[in-house]
Chains A and B, each alone.
Chain A
Protein backbone atom coordinates (compact mmCIF):
# COMPACT_ATOMS: atom_id res chain seq x y z
CA UNK A 1 0.00 0.00 0.00
CA UNK A 2 2.69 2.47 0.99
CA UNK A 3 4.67 1.49 -2.04
CA UNK A 4 1.76 2.33 -4.34
CA UNK A 5 1.34 5.62 -2.50
CA UNK A 6 4.97 6.50 -3.00
CA UNK A 7 4.83 5.49 -6.63
CA UNK A 8 1.75 7.66 -7.15
CA UNK A 9 3.64 10.54 -5.65
CA UNK A 10 6.56 10.13 -7.99
CA UNK A 11 6.46 12.74 -10.76
CA UNK A 12 8.46 10.54 -13.10
CA UNK A 13 6.02 7.67 -12.78
CA UNK A 14 3.04 9.97 -13.29
CA UNK A 15 4.66 11.54 -16.34
CA UNK A 16 4.88 8.17 -18.07
CA UNK A 17 1.32 7.14 -17.20
CA UNK A 18 -0.06 10.50 -18.34
CA UNK A 19 1.69 10.23 -21.70
CA UNK A 20 0.04 6.87 -22.27
CA UNK A 21 -3.43 7.98 -21.10
CA UNK A 22 -3.68 11.32 -22.87
CA UNK A 23 -4.55 10.22 -26.43
CA UNK A 24 -7.43 8.10 -25.09
CA UNK A 25 -8.74 10.85 -22.84
CA UNK A 26 -8.72 13.40 -25.65
CA UNK A 27 -10.23 11.12 -28.29
CA UNK A 28 -12.91 9.77 -25.95
CA UNK A 29 -13.73 13.19 -24.55
CA UNK A 30 -14.08 14.93 -27.90
CA UNK A 31 -16.16 12.06 -29.31
CA UNK A 32 -18.56 11.97 -26.35
CA UNK A 33 -18.92 15.75 -26.25
CA UNK A 34 -19.58 15.95 -29.97
CA UNK A 35 -22.15 13.15 -29.78
CA UNK A 36 -23.90 14.82 -26.84
CA UNK A 37 -23.88 18.28 -28.42
CA UNK A 38 -25.02 17.19 -31.89
CA UNK A 39 -27.78 15.08 -30.35
CA UNK A 40 -28.78 17.85 -27.96
CA UNK A 41 -28.75 20.63 -30.54
CA UNK A 42 -30.35 18.89 -33.47
CA UNK A 43 -32.26 15.84 -32.32
CA UNK A 44 -33.48 16.23 -28.75
CA UNK A 45 -37.10 17.43 -28.54
CA UNK A 46 -37.97 21.03 -27.78
CA UNK A 47 -38.76 21.93 -24.18
CA UNK A 48 -42.49 22.61 -23.81
CA UNK A 49 -41.89 25.54 -21.45
CA UNK A 50 -38.56 27.10 -22.42
CA UNK A 51 -38.56 26.30 -26.14
CA UNK A 52 -35.24 25.94 -27.85
CA UNK A 53 -33.25 28.12 -25.44
CA UNK A 54 -33.03 25.09 -23.14
CA UNK A 55 -30.50 23.60 -25.61
CA UNK A 56 -27.89 25.71 -23.80
CA UNK A 57 -28.18 23.08 -21.05
CA UNK A 58 -25.90 20.73 -23.00
CA UNK A 59 -22.94 22.98 -22.29
CA UNK A 60 -24.18 24.87 -19.22
CA UNK A 61 -24.64 21.81 -17.01
CA UNK A 62 -21.32 20.12 -17.99
CA UNK A 63 -19.29 23.30 -17.33
CA UNK A 64 -21.10 24.06 -14.06
CA UNK A 65 -20.76 20.43 -12.94
CA UNK A 66 -17.06 20.30 -13.76
CA UNK A 67 -16.43 23.72 -12.18
CA UNK A 68 -17.58 22.37 -8.81
CA UNK A 69 -16.14 18.92 -9.26
CA UNK A 70 -12.69 20.33 -10.12
CA UNK A 71 -12.80 22.39 -6.94
CA UNK A 72 -13.60 19.28 -4.87
CA UNK A 73 -10.68 17.44 -6.50
CA UNK A 74 -8.46 20.42 -5.65
CA UNK A 75 -9.63 20.28 -2.03
CA UNK A 76 -8.75 16.57 -1.81
CA UNK A 77 -5.33 17.37 -3.31
CA UNK A 78 -4.94 20.21 -0.79
CA UNK A 79 -5.48 17.78 2.10
CA UNK A 80 -2.89 15.44 0.60
CA UNK A 81 -0.47 18.37 0.23
CA UNK A 82 -0.90 19.44 3.85
CA UNK A 83 -0.89 16.00 5.46
CA UNK A 84 1.54 13.97 3.36
CA UNK A 85 3.45 16.77 1.58
CA UNK A 86 3.01 14.94 -1.70
CA UNK A 87 4.49 17.04 -4.50
CA UNK A 88 2.17 15.69 -7.15
CA UNK A 89 -0.92 16.88 -5.25
CA UNK A 90 0.36 20.44 -5.29
CA UNK A 91 1.26 20.11 -8.97
CA UNK A 92 -2.36 19.10 -9.59
CA UNK A 93 -3.81 22.12 -7.76
CA UNK A 94 -1.64 24.54 -9.70
CA UNK A 95 -2.21 22.86 -13.03
CA UNK A 96 -6.02 22.73 -12.87
CA UNK A 97 -6.91 26.00 -11.12
CA UNK A 98 -6.91 27.99 -14.42
CA UNK A 99 -9.05 25.27 -16.03
CA UNK A 100 -11.52 25.59 -13.16
CA UNK A 101 -11.57 29.34 -13.64
CA UNK A 102 -12.44 29.03 -17.33
CA UNK A 103 -15.13 26.40 -16.64
CA UNK A 104 -16.74 28.53 -13.93
CA UNK A 105 -16.70 31.55 -16.22
CA UNK A 106 -18.35 29.51 -18.97
CA UNK A 107 -21.01 28.23 -16.57
CA UNK A 108 -21.80 31.79 -15.49
CA UNK A 109 -21.73 33.15 -19.02
CA UNK A 110 -23.93 30.45 -20.55
CA UNK A 111 -26.23 30.78 -17.54
CA UNK A 112 -26.58 34.53 -18.06
CA UNK A 113 -27.30 34.14 -21.77
CA UNK A 114 -29.83 31.42 -20.97
CA UNK A 115 -31.39 33.58 -18.27
CA UNK A 116 -32.21 36.43 -20.65
CA UNK A 117 -34.87 34.65 -22.75
CA UNK A 118 -36.00 32.42 -19.87
CA UNK A 119 -36.17 34.72 -16.84
CA UNK A 120 -36.01 38.05 -18.67
CA UNK A 121 -32.76 39.08 -17.04
CA UNK A 122 -29.04 38.42 -17.58
CA UNK A 123 -28.14 38.51 -13.93
CA UNK A 124 -29.79 38.48 -10.53
CA UNK A 125 -28.11 38.37 -7.13
CA UNK A 126 -29.73 35.18 -6.01
CA UNK A 127 -28.13 32.36 -4.05
CA UNK A 128 -27.09 30.04 -6.88
CA UNK A 129 -25.66 32.76 -9.09
CA UNK A 130 -23.86 34.59 -6.30
CA UNK A 131 -22.29 31.42 -4.87
CA UNK A 132 -21.09 30.50 -8.37
CA UNK A 133 -19.54 33.97 -8.69
CA UNK A 134 -17.74 33.37 -5.38
CA UNK A 135 -16.37 30.13 -6.86
CA UNK A 136 -14.98 32.17 -9.76
CA UNK A 137 -13.24 34.51 -7.30
CA UNK A 138 -11.91 31.52 -5.32
CA UNK A 139 -10.26 30.13 -8.44
CA UNK A 140 -8.85 33.59 -9.19
CA UNK A 141 -7.62 33.86 -5.60
CA UNK A 142 -5.86 30.48 -5.76
CA UNK A 143 -4.05 31.48 -8.97
CA UNK A 144 -3.10 34.92 -7.62
CA UNK A 145 -1.87 33.57 -4.27
CA UNK A 146 0.27 30.97 -5.99
CA UNK A 147 1.87 33.61 -8.21
CA UNK A 148 2.43 35.99 -5.29
CA UNK A 149 4.59 33.58 -3.25
CA UNK A 150 7.98 32.77 -4.70
CA UNK A 151 9.00 29.92 -2.42
CA UNK A 152 7.51 26.72 -3.78
CA UNK A 153 6.82 25.07 -0.41
CA UNK A 154 5.19 28.08 1.25
CA UNK A 155 3.12 28.69 -1.88
CA UNK A 156 1.93 25.08 -1.81
CA UNK A 157 0.86 25.34 1.83
CA UNK A 158 -0.83 28.74 1.52
CA UNK A 159 -2.72 27.67 -1.60
CA UNK A 160 -3.82 24.43 0.07
CA UNK A 161 -5.22 26.33 3.05
CA UNK A 162 -7.09 28.76 0.80
CA UNK A 163 -8.57 25.89 -1.23
CA UNK A 164 -9.75 24.18 1.97
CA UNK A 165 -11.32 27.33 3.38
CA UNK A 166 -13.15 27.87 0.11
CA UNK A 167 -14.58 24.37 0.00
CA UNK A 168 -17.41 25.51 2.30
CA UNK A 169 -18.82 27.25 -0.78
CA UNK A 170 -19.43 23.97 -2.61
CA UNK A 171 -22.38 22.69 -0.52
CA UNK A 172 -23.78 26.22 -0.60
CA UNK A 173 -23.79 26.13 -4.41
CA UNK A 174 -25.28 22.65 -4.45
CA UNK A 175 -28.11 23.25 -1.98
CA UNK A 176 -28.73 26.92 -2.83
CA UNK A 177 -31.61 25.93 -5.09
CA UNK A 178 -33.24 24.06 -2.22
CA UNK A 179 -32.47 26.28 0.78
CA UNK A 180 -33.49 29.57 -0.76
CA UNK A 181 -36.10 30.68 -3.24
CA UNK A 182 -34.09 31.23 -6.36
CA UNK A 183 -34.90 31.72 -10.00
CA UNK A 184 -32.60 28.85 -10.84
CA UNK A 185 -34.23 25.53 -11.58
CA UNK A 186 -33.39 22.53 -9.35
CA UNK A 187 -30.68 20.04 -10.26
CA UNK A 188 -31.18 18.05 -13.45
CA UNK A 189 -29.41 14.94 -12.17
CA UNK A 190 -29.76 13.50 -8.70
CA UNK A 191 -28.03 10.33 -7.57
CA UNK A 192 -31.04 9.10 -5.67
CA UNK A 193 -33.81 9.81 -8.17
CA UNK A 194 -34.60 9.23 -11.77
CA UNK A 195 -34.18 12.30 -13.98
CA UNK A 196 -37.35 14.29 -14.47
CA UNK A 197 -36.51 14.79 -18.13
CA UNK A 198 -37.27 12.30 -20.90
CA UNK A 199 -34.36 10.08 -21.98
CA UNK A 200 -33.94 11.93 -25.31
CA UNK A 201 -32.93 14.95 -23.25
CA UNK A 202 -30.87 13.50 -20.41
CA UNK A 203 -28.89 10.91 -22.36
CA UNK A 204 -27.16 13.55 -24.56
CA UNK A 205 -26.64 15.68 -21.46
CA UNK A 206 -24.97 12.77 -19.68
CA UNK A 207 -22.77 12.18 -22.74
CA UNK A 208 -21.57 15.77 -22.79
CA UNK A 209 -20.89 15.75 -19.03
CA UNK A 210 -18.82 12.56 -19.34
CA UNK A 211 -17.09 13.94 -22.43
CA UNK A 212 -16.10 17.14 -20.67
CA UNK A 213 -14.76 15.06 -17.75
CA UNK A 214 -12.45 13.23 -20.15
CA UNK A 215 -11.35 16.45 -21.86
CA UNK A 216 -10.62 17.85 -18.40
CA UNK A 217 -8.60 14.71 -17.63
CA UNK A 218 -6.55 15.33 -20.76
CA UNK A 219 -6.01 18.99 -19.87
CA UNK A 220 -5.03 18.06 -16.30
CA UNK A 221 -2.46 15.48 -17.50
CA UNK A 222 -1.02 17.89 -20.05
CA UNK A 223 -0.75 20.82 -17.66
CA UNK A 224 0.62 18.66 -14.83
CA UNK A 225 3.31 17.37 -17.18
CA UNK A 226 4.28 20.95 -18.00
CA UNK A 227 4.46 21.85 -14.30
CA UNK A 228 6.52 18.72 -13.55
CA UNK A 229 8.98 19.57 -16.35
CA UNK A 230 9.45 23.07 -14.92
CA UNK A 231 9.97 21.84 -11.37
CA UNK A 232 12.12 18.81 -12.10
CA UNK A 233 14.28 20.25 -14.86
CA UNK A 234 17.40 19.70 -12.79
CA UNK A 235 16.78 15.97 -12.47
CA UNK A 236 18.45 13.42 -14.62
CA UNK A 237 15.26 11.81 -15.93
CA UNK A 238 13.84 15.08 -17.27
CA UNK A 239 17.14 15.83 -18.96
CA UNK A 240 17.23 12.40 -20.53
CA UNK A 241 13.58 12.66 -21.55
CA UNK A 242 14.00 16.09 -23.18
CA UNK A 243 17.27 15.24 -24.90
CA UNK A 244 15.91 11.93 -26.21
CA UNK A 245 13.25 13.99 -28.00
CA UNK A 246 10.44 11.72 -26.84
CA UNK A 247 8.15 14.65 -26.42
Chain B
Protein backbone atom coordinates (compact mmCIF):
# COMPACT_ATOMS: atom_id res chain seq x y z
CA UNK B 1 0.00 0.00 0.00
CA UNK B 2 1.12 3.52 -0.73
CA UNK B 3 -0.95 4.84 2.20
CA UNK B 4 -0.70 4.20 5.92
CA UNK B 5 -4.37 4.53 6.83
CA UNK B 6 -7.79 4.83 5.26
CA UNK B 7 -7.90 8.50 6.24
CA UNK B 8 -4.60 9.12 4.44
CA UNK B 9 -5.95 7.26 1.42
CA UNK B 10 -9.08 9.41 1.33
CA UNK B 11 -7.31 12.72 1.88
CA UNK B 12 -4.40 11.98 -0.51
CA UNK B 13 -2.34 14.74 1.17
CA UNK B 14 -4.95 17.34 0.34
CA UNK B 15 -5.43 16.19 -3.25
CA UNK B 16 -8.32 13.93 -2.27
CA UNK B 17 -11.16 16.19 -3.51
CA UNK B 18 -9.55 16.47 -6.97
CA UNK B 19 -8.79 12.77 -7.31
CA UNK B 20 -12.18 11.60 -6.02
CA UNK B 21 -14.11 14.11 -8.16
CA UNK B 22 -12.43 12.67 -11.26
CA UNK B 23 -13.05 9.05 -10.33
CA UNK B 24 -16.62 9.87 -9.34
CA UNK B 25 -17.35 11.58 -12.67
CA UNK B 26 -15.75 8.70 -14.55
CA UNK B 27 -17.74 5.95 -12.82
CA UNK B 28 -21.04 7.84 -12.91
CA UNK B 29 -20.81 8.77 -16.60
CA UNK B 30 -19.57 5.34 -17.69
CA UNK B 31 -22.30 3.60 -15.68
CA UNK B 32 -25.02 5.90 -17.05
CA UNK B 33 -23.83 5.36 -20.61
CA UNK B 34 -23.65 1.57 -20.19
CA UNK B 35 -27.05 1.25 -18.49
CA UNK B 36 -28.66 3.60 -20.99
CA UNK B 37 -27.27 1.62 -23.94
CA UNK B 38 -28.57 -1.67 -22.49
CA UNK B 39 -32.00 -0.15 -21.84
CA UNK B 40 -32.25 1.35 -25.30
CA UNK B 41 -31.47 -2.02 -26.90
CA UNK B 42 -34.16 -3.64 -24.77
CA UNK B 43 -36.67 -0.91 -25.66
CA UNK B 44 -35.99 -1.37 -29.38
CA UNK B 45 -36.48 -5.14 -29.13
CA UNK B 46 -39.70 -4.60 -27.16
CA UNK B 47 -41.12 -2.16 -29.72
CA UNK B 48 -40.20 -4.54 -32.56
CA UNK B 49 -41.95 -7.37 -30.78
CA UNK B 50 -45.10 -5.31 -30.30
CA UNK B 51 -45.08 -4.30 -33.95
CA UNK B 52 -44.68 -7.89 -35.14
CA UNK B 53 -47.43 -9.04 -32.80
CA UNK B 54 -49.85 -6.40 -34.02
CA UNK B 55 -48.92 -7.31 -37.61
CA UNK B 56 -49.60 -10.97 -36.86
CA UNK B 57 -52.99 -10.30 -35.25
CA UNK B 58 -53.90 -8.05 -38.18
CA UNK B 59 -52.94 -10.82 -40.59
CA UNK B 60 -55.15 -13.25 -38.69
CA UNK B 61 -57.97 -10.69 -38.58
CA UNK B 62 -57.62 -10.01 -42.28
CA UNK B 63 -58.00 -13.67 -43.20
CA UNK B 64 -61.10 -14.17 -41.03
CA UNK B 65 -62.64 -10.95 -42.33
CA UNK B 66 -61.91 -12.02 -45.89
CA UNK B 67 -63.67 -15.30 -45.28
CA UNK B 68 -66.66 -13.48 -43.82
CA UNK B 69 -66.93 -10.82 -46.52
CA UNK B 70 -66.81 -13.47 -49.19
CA UNK B 71 -70.43 -14.31 -48.48
CA UNK B 72 -71.56 -10.70 -48.09
CA UNK B 73 -69.58 -9.17 -50.91
CA UNK B 74 -72.23 -6.61 -51.80
CA UNK B 75 -72.32 -5.11 -48.35
CA UNK B 76 -68.57 -4.60 -48.10
CA UNK B 77 -68.19 -3.06 -51.51
CA UNK B 78 -70.11 0.15 -50.97
Contact = CB atoms under 8 A, between A and B. Distances in A.
A94 interface: no
Secondary structure at the B interface, as helix, strand, loop or mixed, is helix
A105 B29 CA distance: 10
A196 B67 CA distance: 81
Interface string B32-50: 0110011011101100110
A216 to B, nearest CB: 10
Contact of A114 (B13, B22, B51): B22
Interface stretch (B1-9, B58-66, B69-77): B1-9
Contact of A242 (B3, B33, B45): B45
Contacts of B68: none
B42 A53 contact: no
Secondary structure at the A interface, as helix, strand, loop or mixed, is helix
A242 B48 contact: yes
Interface in A88-139: 98-99, 102, 105-106, 109-110, 113-114, 116-117
A230 B15 contact: no
Nearest to A52: B12
Contact of B41 (A105, A113, A226): A226
Interface stretch (A38-46, A160-168, A170-178): A38-46
B2 A46 contact: yes
Interface stretch (A6-14, A184-192, A217-225): A217-225
Q: How large is the interface on B (under 10, 10 to 19, 20 to 34, 35 or more residues)?
A: 20 to 34
A208 to B, nearest CB: 10
A213 B73 CA distance: 65
Given A102-B29, A239-B52, A242-B49, A226 B44 contact: yes
Given A52-B13, A247-B42, A242 B1 contact: no
A215 B19 contact: no
A63 interface: yes
A225 B41 CA distance: 8
A223 to B, nearest CB: 5
B30 A113 contact: no
A114 B49 CA distance: 48
Contacts of A215: 30, 34
Interface in A43-92: 43-46, 51-53, 55-56, 59-60, 63
A215 B1 CA distance: 27
A98 B22 CA distance: 20
Contact of A113 (B9, B13, B18): B18
A109 B25 contact: yes
B21 interface: yes
Given A42-B2, A106-B29, A225-B41, A243 B22 contact: no
Q: Which 7 A-B pairs have the closest CB atoms?
A: A52-B12, A53-B15, A226-B41, A110-B22, A52-B15, A59-B26, A56-B22
